[in-house]
Amino acid sequence: MSTRILAVWKLDIGLEIGESVRIFKMTTITIRNEDIRPLFLAVVYALSLPRQTIERERLVRLQQQLQSDFSKATCTLNLEPEEILLLGGALNGVINEMKQFAIGEGKSMVESFATSMKICFPDTDSDPGLAMDLVALPFGLKNRFQEYLSVAQTEIDTRTQTPDEASEPKNKWWKIW
The string of pLDDT tens digits covering residues 49-83 is 887 667 888 999 999 999 999 999 999 999 999 99
Domain locations along the chain = 2-160
Residue type, 37: R
How many angstroms separate the CA atoms of 124 and 135, rounded?
A: 12
Of 32-36, 108-112, 151-155, give the range with the top mean pLDDT: 32-36
Least confident of 106-110, 114-118, 165-169: 165-169
100: Cα within 13 Å, side-chain hemisphere: 12
